[in-house]
Amino acid sequence: MTTDAGTGLGRTAPAHGGASVLRMLPGGATETGGVRLFLVGADALARAGIRSLLDGQGGISVIGEDEPGPRALAALRAHTPDVLVVHGMREEHEVDALLGHIDPGIRVLTVGGAEPGARPAAVLHGHLPVTTTSQQLAAAVSLAAAGYSLTRGPLPAAAEAPARPRTAPTVSDVPPQQLTGRECQILDLVARGLSNTEIAQSLTLSEHTVKTHVQNLLNKLRLRNRVHAAIYAFETGLR
């Protein structure tokens, strides 16, 4: 896995042999449009790196970024983004203090640095390690915008891992059994936060073909956008 020099975020997904796994838990209303994101972090280079990785990916629009402080809080009140990503804050009390001043309508993800305290603020929708890939972060942002929260738990051994049941999704009444193998592939990559260009490279297809596949998938599942597609994938156990 290669990493971005400014952010520490990997550009490709890691192998499944890691010590932990991110699970998505439902918890709120879904978004109907693109995701408006604001970045806060002390390292200007890291902020620029994350912005370049996320802006325009999977419907995410980075509307601003700043270092922690009154100016950032004023910008958050003025722009009211869907998601706030807080990067690399080193002290737990600094994280907790910042979260205490965030509007409750903003969903917050912290990346790297200190984890929030034992009783995190209600606005917090998850903490991701600095080893998180750009695709994982994009997926986490999309799901947080849709009202989901992230929790980390141990990754079970392959021999002991139970198969996840494909439960009825809440965003679509189309059962996952109606999807073709190619549609499941496309859905999995969309849920990981990959853009059409990245999906095309992964599957060795033209970008136009991928765009057609994605649109047909959304139409078949009667979903409004890629965020809802990611939610569908997690709810049905396809991702």
Question: Is residue 186 within 8 Å of residue 200, measured between CB atoms?
Answer: no
To the question of domain 176-235 being in CATH 3.40.605.10, the answer is: no
d(CA 35, CA 109): 14
Q: 3-class DSSP state for residue 238? A: coil
Tokens of 197: 């260009």
Cα four-point dihedral sign 97, 57, 187, 154: negative
**Per-residue pLDDT tens digits of the chain, which is 239 residues long:** 555 555 666 544 443 344 334 444 444 433 345 899 999 988 888 889 889 888 887 788 999 999 988 999 999 999 999 999 999 887 878 878 888 888 888 999 988 887 766 556 678 888 888 788 888 888 889 888 888 887 655 434 433 444 444 445 567 888 888 888 888 889 888 888 888 888 899 888 899 999 999 999 999 998 888 888 888 887 777 65
To the question of domain 20-154 being in CATH 3.40.190.10, the answer is: no
Residue 130's contacts (CB-CB under 8 Å, 6 or more residues apart) are 8, 9, 88, 111, 112, 113
pLDDT at site 97: 82
Residue 201's contacts (CB-CB under 8 Å, 6 or more residues apart) are none
Helix then strand count (H, E) for the chain reads: 8, 7
pLDDT at site 130: 79
Beta strands in the chain (DSSP E): 20-25, 35-41, 60-66, 83-87, 107-111, 124-128, 149-154
CA torsion 32-33-38-39 (nearest 10°) is 90
pLDDT at site 152: 59
Cα four-point dihedral sign 235, 202, 82, 43: positive
Adjacency order of strands within the sheet including 83-87:
60-66, 35-41, 83-87, 107-111, 124-128
- Give residue limits of the domains in the chain: 20-154, 176-235
Question: Is residue 179 within 8 Å of residue 209, measured between CB atoms?
Answer: no
Question: Is residue 227 within 8 Å of residue 59, measured between CB atoms?
Answer: yes
pLDDT at site 119: 56
